[in-house]
Structure 1
Amino acid sequence: MASRTLWINNSDSGRYRFSDEHPFHPVRLELTEDLLSKCDAIDNDQVAPSFSMEETERIIRAIHRSDYIDCVIDLSTDSPSDDAIKQAIRYGLEEDGDTPYFPGMHESAVAISAGSIAAADAVMSGRAEHALHLAGGLHHAFPDRASGFCVYNDAAAAISYIREKYNARVLYIDTDVHHGDGVQWFFYTDPEVFTLSIHETGKFLFPGSGFPHERGDSSGYGACLNISMEPYTEDDSWLACFNQAVEHAARSFRPDIIVSQHGCDAHAYDPLAHIHCSMRIYREMPKIIHRLADRYTQGKWVALGGGGYDHWRVVPRAWGMLWLEMNEHPLLASIDSEPNGGLLPEQWPDISSDKADGPLPKTWLDDVASWTPMPRRKEISEKNKANLEIALQHIG
């Protein structure tokens, strides 16, 4: 094995860019790579190229409708046709929507899927034990339309590739604060793909789904688990529910590989949700998933990025700790033992912080002792526990 954990090259993902003002911005990746470089945590031996674009297009056409793809291709040109512009709203790509079309959209979205498939192939072939593709995790895309900043569903493409080539059972774990709806519905009737999502309840947050009664259908009934969390949930409740849910899922499903999505927008600083967690959950969740992979899948683990809209204060630290955990990096010892996780590198970031929302953090973890406690903590935790009990009723 060339490397225990592979970092999948994200360079092509920089073209997946709606606008400078759009919340889904590639600066998140630049900041994360810069942070890890300053920590000497990435070397050239760990960087892997992307998958064949031609083969990726074939896989995308196998999971997305051809009329949708054709419209995406037309809207990706510098001068889209009038018909494609008229059809944009039908496919979730209207100019004033969440996922507006832009030049090069098709090519960059295919490149992102290529990276996620490359990660899956590296792990399933035995070339690596773990692989991380932070540009991936576009979990809201549907077979026939874009949604929630997502054009093509790279997670579904990677899982479909694993099923087609390796006939492996896949446990998909989604930690984004928004329900992993697209991936769920792609595999809702498939008993060989278990989808688990922990997220803020759809009663108050996009996409308005992910309730405990969504459990799969037909032969896939029981292979879907949704952990719906109340607004203003804090670390202890979030982690208790997550740990119990993934343990139940892995024990009952017995996967061959874990594919996880690591949106980091359940943080209290994130502007697009209402959860009140700290960086602690982004240290602990990868650790929990790592243990599951060691116990159930002989270490096979593919991790993808996802949401996260506090670009400067949250995303680089969360994704940085994900990579460190996947590599069992020595820096974790100090993060776990020093006050607030220890200091970040003084020279980070090299990128201008003019657009940062407030002062940049100095430590890996947050000083939660300085935060105002949630007044409804007990009530929120009890509701989360009750929702979890309902969700787990169909899990063995």
Structure 2
Amino acid sequence: MRVRVVWATELLGYDFGPHHPMAPLRLEMTWRLAGDLGLVELDQVELVGAEPASDATIERVHTADYVAAVRRAGSTLQADPAHGLGTEDNPVFAGMHEAAARIVGASVDQALAVWRGDADHAVNLAGGMHHAMADHASGFCLYNDAAAAISALLDAGARRVAYVDVDAHHGDGVERTFWDDPRVLTCSIHESGHSLFPGTGHPGDHGGPSARGHAVNVPLPAGTSDAKWLRAVESVVPALVRRFAPDVVVSQHGCDAHALDPLTNLAVSIDAQRRVQALVHDLAHEVAGGRWLALGGGGYAVARVVPRVWTHLIGIAAHAPVPLDAPVPEVWREAGERVFGFPMPTLMGEGSVVRVRDWSEGYDPADDVDRAILAARNAAFAWHDLDPLYD
């Protein structure tokens, strides 16, 4: 078993400023927690750096004009609203092209390492910038590293790639990139666009004319918590990924679905998110020979949530899962309390124990989440010769 984990202090340079929600501190605290738990010292774990991607690599999924605009904005510090630069979500900062290109480089390099067999799994927690569009920045995302990694895999010979996105926000940029490409299956489980940015990701959005059923969206109502969130994931993702039979699984594990996240309206525990990480990992082994690239993404409860969720992701990728009842290392808690000025969590989980109804147990037409699940299944399953009600 070999897993590569991207671990580079240079990635902390993706920094929109001290008052922006996407604080580099969330990465720093995660890496420190994983280190204090001994995950990075395991024999099967290889720490790798991150070099900026070339313009040619970035232009797999972005226009040359946009790449030039990002480089220019990072040099002149002048806003460019036409390209989404200098907005409240995406302020300009010095060296922004280099910082964003480094994230792309890490995701592309590790996707190809998995494809070549140099690693079984790879994790880039700085990645998962799933909102960036071909010609503009969006939602804290300058370059779309997930889309670039999938494109690189296809160019390298992968016939099919499955992308699973469990961030609270719709994975719109990745979906848009491969909207009409039947080689890519994009599955996004997210808070409904009626209550959350970017306002897209409806069940009827199911792909272009050449790729019907290859864009899959499960929009969930605000307030959805563990049992129903897990039911949504488990009732849609496994059946489709198994039938699609990808050569590689790429997943985005934004952890902003948590109840403490300040930007979203879901209520999904660390325990439930860890369960889905394990589900995606197991699917990669079942259908893709273990080839799995796991990315970070959103997550703005920087102290109490992000480090624990993403440390669990490293543990699962390393085949050394951290128990939910494991104590958080005292040295990490003390360091966190010095940084944040309030008590840090004492356990790696939250003690959430829920029963999840399997889809085979029946559909409740009075339940908002069940209606979202069935709408997604109705939109996608038939295109893959699956029965929306019974498979």
Q: For 1:238 and 1:266, how far apart are their aligned partners in 2?
A: 9
The C-alpha deviation readout for 1:162-218, integer Å capped at 9, x for no partner, is 011123310000010000000000000000010000000000000000110010011
| Cα RMSD after superposing both structures | 2.0
Would the aligned equivalents of 2:125 and 2:296 in 1 still touch at CA under 8 Å?
A: yes
* Aligned twin of 1:158: 149
Match of 2:34 in 1: 36
> What's the CA shift string for 1:323-376, capped at 9, x where partnerless?
1111121x53x43xxxxx23111111464535638531111111459xxxxxxx
Which residue, out of 54, 57, 60, partners 1:59? 57
Alignment CA distance shift 1:342-1:208 (3 Å): same
Distance (whole Å) between structure 1 residues aligned to residue 102 and residue 138 of structure 2: 18
1:388 is aligned to 373
Show CA shifts across 1:79-126 (max 9, x none).
Answer: 34xxx63xx1111112x4211111010001000000001110110000
Alignment counterpart, residue 146 of structure 1, candidates 132, 137, 144: 137
Task: State the partner residue of 2:119.
Answer: 128
Instruction: Give 2:84's aligned residue.
Output: 92
In 1: Cα distance, 2:70 partner to 2:27 partner: 24
Count of residue correspondences: 370
Q: Does 2:301 correspond to 1:310? A: yes
Measured in 1, the distance between the counterparts of 2:165 and 2:374 equals 19
Amino acid at match of 1:179: H
Relative to structure 1, is the Cα distance of residues 10 and 197 closer, same or farther in structure 2, using a 3 angstrom cutoff? farther
Identity fraction in percent: 37
Match for 1:21 among 9, 15, 19?
Answer: 19
Change (3 A) 1:237 1:358: farther
Question: Residues of 2 paired with 1:352 and 1:318: CA distance?
Answer: 16
Please state whether the residue corresponding to 2:5 is helix, strand or coil.
Answer: strand
Question: Is the CA contact (8 Å cut-off) linking 1:130 and 1:301 kept in structure 2?
Answer: yes
State how far apart, in whole Å, the 2-side matches of 1:283 and 1:356 are: 25
Give the SS at the match of 1:176: coil
CA distance in 2, matches of 1:12, 1:281: 31
Find the aligned partners of 2:140 and 2:264 in 1 and give their Cα distance: 15
CA distance, structure 2, for counterparts of residue 389 and residue 176 of structure 1: 20
Partners of 1:177 and 1:47 lie apart in 2 by 28
| 1:326 matched residue in structure 2 | 317
Q: Deviations over 1:260-292 (max 9, x none)?
A: 001000000000001011111121011101111
| Residues 167 and 268 of structure 1: CA distance in aligned 2, closer, same or farther (over 3 Å) | same
Report the alpha carbon displacement of residue 56 of structure 1 after superposing the two structures with TM. 3.3
User: In the TM superposition, what is the alpha-carbon distance from 1:31 to its structure 2 partner?
Assistant: 0.5
Name structure 2 gaps, 5 residues minimum.
Answer: 354-362, 387-391
Please name the residue that 2:291 is paired with. Answer: 300
**Residues 238-277 of structure 1: matches in 2 within 5 Å?**
238-277=229-268
State the SS of the aligned residue for 2:59: helix
Structure 2 residue 345 is the aligned partner of structure 1 residue 361: yes
Alignment correspondent of 2:211: 220
Measured at CA, do residues 352 and 317 of structure 1 come closer, stay the same or move farther in structure 2, by a change above 3 Å?
closer
SS of the counterpart of 2:39?
A: coil
Q: 1:47 corresponds to which letter in structure 2?
A: L
Q: Distance in 1 between matches of 2:282 and 2:184?
A: 20
| 1:108 aligned to which of 81, 99, 111 | 99
Question: Structure 1 length normalisation: TM-score?
Answer: 0.89
Distance 1:262 1:316 in 2: 12
> Which letter does structure 2 place at the counterpart of 1:291?
D
Q: Please report how far the alpha carbon of residue 57 of structure 1 lies from its aligned counterpart in structure 2 after TM superposition.
A: 2.1
Question: In the alignment, what sits opposite 1:50?
Answer: 50
SS in 1 for 2:367: helix
* Separation in structure 2 between the aligned mates of residue 202 and residue 137 of structure 1, nearest angstrom: 19
Contact 2:303 2:344 in 1 (8 A): yes
Structure 2 contact 7–31 (Cα < 8 Å) conserved: no
Given candidates 206, 213, 226, the residue that maps to 1:235 is 226
